[in-house]
Amino acid sequence: MSEDIVLASASPRRKELLSQIGIGCHILPVDIDESPLSDEPPTDYVRRLATQKAQRCLQILPAELSAMAVLGADTIVELEGELLGKPQDAAHACEMLTRLSGKTHFVHTAVAVCFCDETHVSLSSSRVQFGDVSEQQIMAYIDSGEPMDKAGAYAIQGGAAAFIRHIDGSFSSVMGLPLYETAQLLSRCGIDIQHNNKNDELA
């Protein structure tokens, strides 16, 4: 698969999701200050971070990649108005999962694409309902190591699928990249998703 864009993230899940729709990418992760602003709504927060990641990546692009679209994304879990990012340690992951047990929360993922001196941003928000999760289940899940680099301390595509009673929204967005919104943004940059997939099928 040829590289069509630059991905401003080291997330293997986002690379995998892009591959699912026939998009290859160069990986160029960036570091930005992810501290929320005072009284910043969760949806504004993820939009801002996705945009800053893409724009920061654009600033450090090597010359041979300068003509490519740059994609940044950010995902956050919102529970009762509070942001849940990645857990700091196992105890923090346990606290998050215990709070999520038996409750409905939101997962917000924003995706930003920089191309030809323009930045376009799209947001996907999903409602996720956890069933009641026992302490034993939580500890076993934490022992697997899976929660430690995930917003909200869980991966919907992994072992935490057994905790989720219902989802209203985009599965890929909860994973970390809303594919419908991403495809729409990339099409504005002249990247034809259907054409790429057809090429993969013929290869």
DSSP-derived secondary structure for 19-67? HHTT-EEEE-------PPPTT--HHHHHHHHHHHHHHHHHHT--GGGTT
Instruction: Find, among 10, 12, 14, 50, the residue nearest to 27 by Cα.
Output: 10
Which pairs with CB-CB distance under 8 Å and at least 24 residues apart come from 32-37?
32/56, 34/74, 34/85, 36/83
Residues labelled catalytic: 74
DSSP 148-196: GGSGGG--TTTGGGGGEEEEES-HHHHHT--HHHHHHHHHTTT--HHHH
